[in-house]
Amino acid sequence: SARAQEKYAEPPKLSDLLDRGWKIFEEVDSTNEPLGSNSIQVRVKRGVDVLEEASRMVAQLDLFSRNEELEEIATADLKYLLLPALLGALIMKQTSRDKRLEIVQTARDYFMDFLRRCREYNISQFKLPNPTNANTSPDNSVPCSSDLVSMGAQRQAKIERYRQKKLLEARLSDMRRAVDSGQADDEVSRDFYLLNVQRWITVCLEEIESIDQEVEILGKMDVLRQCPVKQPIRPSHHPIKPFILTKDAVQAQVFGAGYPSLPTMTVDDWYEQHRKHGALPDQGIPRKVAAKEDTDVQEMEEEEKEKKAENDDEESLLKARNWDDWKDTHRKGYGNRQNMG
């Protein structure tokens, strides 16, 4: 009908856009599905589009001004302060690796926009992060005492933020039932949205610290990609061609006729080929061990020869002495009966 088409053509309300985008974020944030799945990324994109449309409407309506105080903001408009924080949180759910640096930098801009507005309204006491994520400290420098004190203060601030975050979440859990059911009065609703803003202040501060660390890592990875990495040269190994090993030449002819695609080789040919290339294992004895054993055998033989030579010298000396003694007691020609006259 014409009325249905006219109703369908009406632009969505600002409150509906915020509620829809907020609900998408909570569903994505609490899902058990992989963040990189197509269904989750489609919902993330839809949530970002919805919240961006709501942000444009807030800018057109000029809901917030630097000249007004927090008390001057209507209770129904307080929740729109959360738009930049929700946008940054949803953008951080995007998983495109090629655009990761662009994603985190865009999310950081939204988080910073939210924190600046909270500072302008003096909603909470916190230190505003640096406008950019540039690391001013030199690399590989030894931390001095002032740096250690600053690191200790940052750690204490993190602990305090975490404690406050848990307290705020507990209070919000109790108040949300009344707000969602529509039974909360203006004061309860105002406290509920202000507590949400305070909780998101701690979330954004933590996210910015994480983003700054990630940007530094991404920068180093980009430098490594630009530096060419020399691949080590590997020695080329010639593949061993398959063959059929036979006992003798007769079998080689038989197998060769039946398997023309595979060469044949007798055991003797195989042995001779490996002997030429020095690839034989010396019948199971390593070369070094075999050489050592040959040396030991040679030494033993030389020692035996020396001992034999010494023994021979003693026998020849004794024989010579006995011969001299015999000549002293027997005249020349004694015992030669062939010369008897």
The reply to whether 74 falls in a domain is yes
Alpha-carbon dihedral sign for residues 244, 246, 249, 250: negative
The two three-digit tokens of residue 27, written as one number: 């569903």
Please give the pLDDT value at position 67.
86
- How many domains, in total, are found in the chain? 1
Residue 275 is assigned to a structural domain of this protein:
no
The DSSP output letter for 80 is: G
Residue 139 lies in a domain: no
Instruction: Give the pLDDT score at 116.
Output: 95
* Tokens coding 160: 């305090």
Low-confidence ranges of the chain (pLDDT < 70): 1-9, 133-147, 228-264, 278-294, 308-313, 333-341
Cβ contacts of 305 within 8 Å, gap of 6 or more: none
Q: Which CATH number covers residue 56?
A: 1.25.40.540
Instruction: Please write the tens of the pLDDT for every residue from 96-113.
Output: 888 999 999 999 999 999
pLDDT digits (tens, 9 = 90+) for 211-226: 999 999 988 887 887 7
Contacts of 179 (CB under 8 A, 6+ apart): 188, 189, 192
Cα–Cα distance for residue pair 298/292, rounded to 1 Å: 10
Q: Please check whether residue 336 lies inside any domain of the structure.
A: no
Number of other CB atoms surrounding residue 213 within 10 Å: 12
Instruction: Identify whether 202 is part of a domain.
Output: yes
Tell me whether residue 247 is in a domain: no
Q: Report the distance separating Cα 68 and Cα 45, nearest Å.
A: 34
pLDDT in tens, 146-197: 667 777 777 777 787 778 778 888 788 888 888 888 888 889 899 999 999 9
- Burial profile 290-322: b = 16 or more Cβ within 10 angstroms, e = fewer: eeeeeeeeeeeeeeeeeeeeeeeeeeeeeeeee
Tell me the residue range of the domain where 61 lies: 14-130+150-226
